[in-house]
Structure 1
Amino acid sequence: MSRTPASALYWRILGINGLIFAVGTAALAVAPVTVSSFVLLRELPVLVVGLAVMMAANAILLRASLAPLERLTALMARLDSLRSGDRLEAGRNGDLFHLVDEFNAMLDRLEADRSISTAVVLDAQEAERRRIAQELHDEIGQSLTVVLLELKSVVNRAPDEVADELRNVQETVRSSLDEVRRVARRLRPGVLDDLGLTSALTALAGDFSGTGGPRVTRRVQTGLAGLGPDAELVIYRIAQEGLTNVWRHSGARNAELSLTQDDDGRVVLRVVDDGSGPPTEVGAGIHGMRERAMLIGAQLTIGPANGGGTKVELIVPPRGAVFSCRPGPLRSPGGSLRDRS
């Protein structure tokens, strides 16, 4: 039967104490050292030295054996559920290396389960976005188009005194139709499927610039290599959420959206604004950005920008290289994010 960490520590403490007692007994038996029934003053140093040696030996043994517990406690205190790969290094000589190994294995299982669950949730979210966007385009969009055509016919036959009012109604309906189409594009990035990531981000920046919010400048590199469909969708969604946060919360007047690729193959997305600075609390939007970044093993940081404002930076490693040791699978049991959307 293999020894447990508790039994191993028990036998080591028992052994070190037994050794000390054996050495003490041998010293009394063969050395000119005696201890009276009533301890004499000259015999007191012998007892004190023996006790000190025993306590020191036990302290050294316990400190060395229980040191992994301190590192384990520190890891539990700093552990972030959305930052994988943080593990303890287990030495083969410690009494608690079995505990450290089991704890690391537990983290592996939890991160794998969390990655699969997150992928399933995001798959369902993308599918629902596509369904709603399709209904907006096919149902509401077509109905508003029919209304516009009918209004145009009525305006042509209406008397002059009501024709102007009908034209105002016609413009209102046309604005509503444009807004419905804009919402549908945000829900389902059809341009991402049709024209690619570069065109999709360019269109996204143009949409936000035309909403009356901050002026968005873009610097999007073409010809990006090594990005799969999952990574492209994650980059697009994080850019979309970053610009949405700028528009809703930052109070910024200007923002910049950039997408570049380093010489080593890393793709870097940045959304920078000159607003009020990083958020003090993590909301659902930022939490969702972190979950998406985790699925492709990317590194997401949100912090202050140079000169004020907020900088959102996503670094996507080349295929086959990840920042975290265990980023989780890119595909859920039902397929990839794009397959299900």
Structure 2
Amino acid sequence: MTIVPASFISGAAPLGLEHNTDTAHSPDVAEMRALYRAAEARAARLRFIIEVRNLLDAQPFETAAPEVLSRLADFAGAMQARLVFPPLQGELPVQLAVGQSRSPEGDSILFASEDGADLHLTLVGPSRGRAIDADDRQTLEVVAGQLADACNLERQAAEKQALLGDLERQRSELAALVAQLIQAQEQERQRVALDLHDGSAQLAAGLSYRLQDLAARIGEAHALKPEIDHLAALARHSVADLRAAIADLRPPELDDLGVAAALRTRLDAIDGMEVIADLDAGADRWPASTGIIFYRVAQEAITNVIKHAGARRLIVRLFEDNAGEAHLEVIDDGKGIGEARQPQIQQRGTRLGIVGMRERLALLGGRIEIGTGASGGTCVRAVAPLQQETISA
């Protein structure tokens, strides 16, 4: 027979198994509650830091700073939060304040960011308010650092934008100066061309006519007839050279008919190679500045082909695409513009010519590409928009 202890029958707890909640486990429960409260406090501080970071990332600093200051005041139990911005060069420091102290004589500084920081944060509240412990102070220091970083980033962005604006203004001023220089060059070319036409060319032509007349009057039997014929031939060559120089300086077709007509005249004068000209007549209606610049680029490229390429064929295309852009292509089958020839090209001045072509096209917002053609040689491609004139001829 099994004997059951009386304590079990009566409902009393067995001897030695009593559960005393007041003594055995009280320290453990209190410690767990303290740890739980500390974990909640740390989580709240972390959430506060993350919220401030998100707010500063989502809005401009000037917009986010007052909201951050308000939250800082609430977090620390302060009546007022003040933020002093570091001064820019030549400017005074800027102060931003949120909240108002009700009794300034009874207030004290609850928190101030560390000295030497780029941005100073101060929290002011009642001297009898709750004290800010070390963990809260560390949180405030982190948020102050976030404010300083956001302020610095905002100012760096503003400084970068200001520098970009200055750079753009300088670029515009440089473009205007280059435009004035090119305009002055064109005016000087036109003046020299007129002077040559009205001066030296007329004198050379008159000399040629006089010599021819003199040769006709003295007759074939005269001893000086061969010498006079030779002088007359030299005078005719001088007239031809002067007219060619005048055409290079300022072709009359460029002013009277347009860039396509001027280029066609230039190409018709080329001897010793096959010339293929695909010139859209619509280019003659381009703005005057565009026509002048494209003619000068083509002139420089054609001159380089004639002097340096040793080409047998030259192709020149001039047209406008559907996007309203002007195009020029100068293609030859000569030696090309490889690395091996670059020192010679630089000595001959072609490098300067390429720079000049780029500068002229840049005035129109255009560009130039120089490379190897499909069958060797050199291919020069220029393109520029046709919206507006950049320089006046």
Contact preservation (8 Å) 2:267, 2:275: yes
- Structure 1, residues 3-22: CA drift from partner, whole Å, max 9, x if none? 568999x858999xxxxxxx
Q: Identity over the aligned pairs, expressed in percent? A: 28
Query: Aligned to 1:142, which of 187, 193, 202?
Result: 202
Q: Which ranges of structure 2 fall in alignment gaps of 5 or more residues?
A: 1-83, 95-115, 122-131
TM-score (norm 1): 0.66
| Counterpart residue number, 1:295 | 363
Distance 1:221 1:228 in 2: 15
- Structure 1, residues 32-78: CA drift from partner, whole Å, max 9, x if none? xxxxxxxxxxxxxxxxxxxxxx9xxx9xx98x999xxxxxxxxxxxx
Query: Aligned to 2:135, which of 23, 26, 35?
Result: 26
Distance 2:85 2:186 in 1: 49
Distance 2:133 2:262 in 1: 81
Distance 2:135 2:207 in 1: 107
Residues 1:261 and 1:4: Cα distance change in structure 2 (over 3 Å): farther
Counterparts of 1:88-167 in structure 2, within 5 Å, are 96-156=156-216, 157-160=218-221, 161-167=223-229
Aligned AA (1:127)? Q
Give the drift of 1:111: 0.6
Residues 1:205 and 1:95: Cα distance change in structure 2 (over 3 Å): same
| Counterpart residue number, 1:175 | 237
Contact preservation (8 Å) 2:284, 2:291: no
| Counterpart residue number, 2:41 | none
Q: Which one has more relative contact order, counting CA pairs under 8 Å at least 6 apart? A: 1
| Counterpart residue number, 1:273 | 332
Distance 1:159 1:224 in 2: 52
Distance 2:289 2:243 in 1: 25
Distance 2:284 2:196 in 1: 34
| Counterpart residue number, 1:90 | none
Query: Aligned to 1:185, which of 230, 234, 247?
Result: 247
Q: Which ranges of structure 1 fall in alignment gaps of 5 or more residues?
A: 16-22, 30-53, 67-92, 321-328
Contact preservation (8 Å) 1:255, 1:273: yes
Distance 2:133 2:336 in 1: 69
Q: 2:281 aligns to what SS in structure 1?
A: coil
Residues 1:14 and 1:274: Cα distance change in structure 2 (over 3 Å): farther
| Counterpart residue number, 1:39 | none
Contact preservation (8 Å) 1:129, 1:187: yes
- Structure 1, residues 76-104: CA drift from partner, whole Å, max 9, x if none? xxxxxxxxxxxxxxxxx655212220221
Q: 1:287 aligns to what SS in structure 2?
A: helix
The alignment's C-alpha RMSD in Å is: 3.5
Q: 1:307 aligns to what SS in structure 2?
A: coil
Deviating beyond 3 angstroms after TM superposition, the runs of 4 or more aligned structure 1 residues are 1-8, 10-15, 279-282
Query: Aligned to 2:384, which of 303, 316, 332?
Result: 316
Contact preservation (8 Å) 1:298, 1:315: yes
Q: Which structure features the higher share of strand residues? A: 2
Contact preservation (8 Å) 1:5, 1:98: no
Distance 1:186 1:113 in 2: 29
Q: Paired residues, what number?
A: 263
Query: Aligned to 1:195, which of 257, 262, 267?
Result: 257
Counterparts of 1:24-63 in structure 2, within 5 Å, are 25-26=134-135
Give the drift of 1:159: 4.4
Distance 1:290 1:241 in 2: 11
Give the drift of 1:249: 2.3
